[in-house]
């Protein structure tokens, strides 16, 4: 059974959102199997986003965190993949 990503908040275009979700989903899988740490997955996602969509991306992955961020318009996504929350946003 595969886990789907549930978007909780975003201001991205549907096209960008789909591309990013497709990029991050395989990187989150090791977390669901207990084979990786949140900080390592965050780092991998950030590197991929910076390469694919130009810097500067910020990524937070975890089960329990709070945040308040300022971001570049059209580049904010908060979603869940199973029990893991993912917050990512781009700054200028």
Tens digit of each residue's pLDDT, the chain (92 residues): 467 899 999 999 999 999 999 999 999 988 888 888 999 999 999 999 999 999 999 999 999 999 999 999 999 999 999 999 999 999 98
Contacts of 62 (CB under 8 A, 6+ apart): 38, 84, 85
Which CATH superfamily groups domain 5-90?
Protein Inhibitor Of Neuronal Nitric Oxide Synthase; (3.30.740.10)
Query: Per-domain residue ranges for the chain?
Result: 5-90
pTM (two decimals): 0.92
CA dihedral for 72, 40, 67, 83, sign (positive or negative): positive
């Amino acid at each position: 059974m595969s886990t789907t990503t549930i978007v909780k908040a975003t201001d991205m275009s549907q096209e960008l959102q789909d591309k990013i979700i497709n990029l991050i989903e395989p990187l989150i899988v090791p977390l669901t199997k207990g084979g990786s740490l949140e900080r390592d997955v965050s780092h991998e996602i950030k590197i991929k986003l910076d390469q694919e969509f130009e810097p500067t991306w910020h990524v937070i992955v975890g089960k329990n965190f709070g945040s308040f961020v300022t971001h570049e318009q059209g580049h904010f996504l908060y979603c869940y993949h199973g029990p893991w929350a993912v917050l990512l946003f781009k700054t200028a």
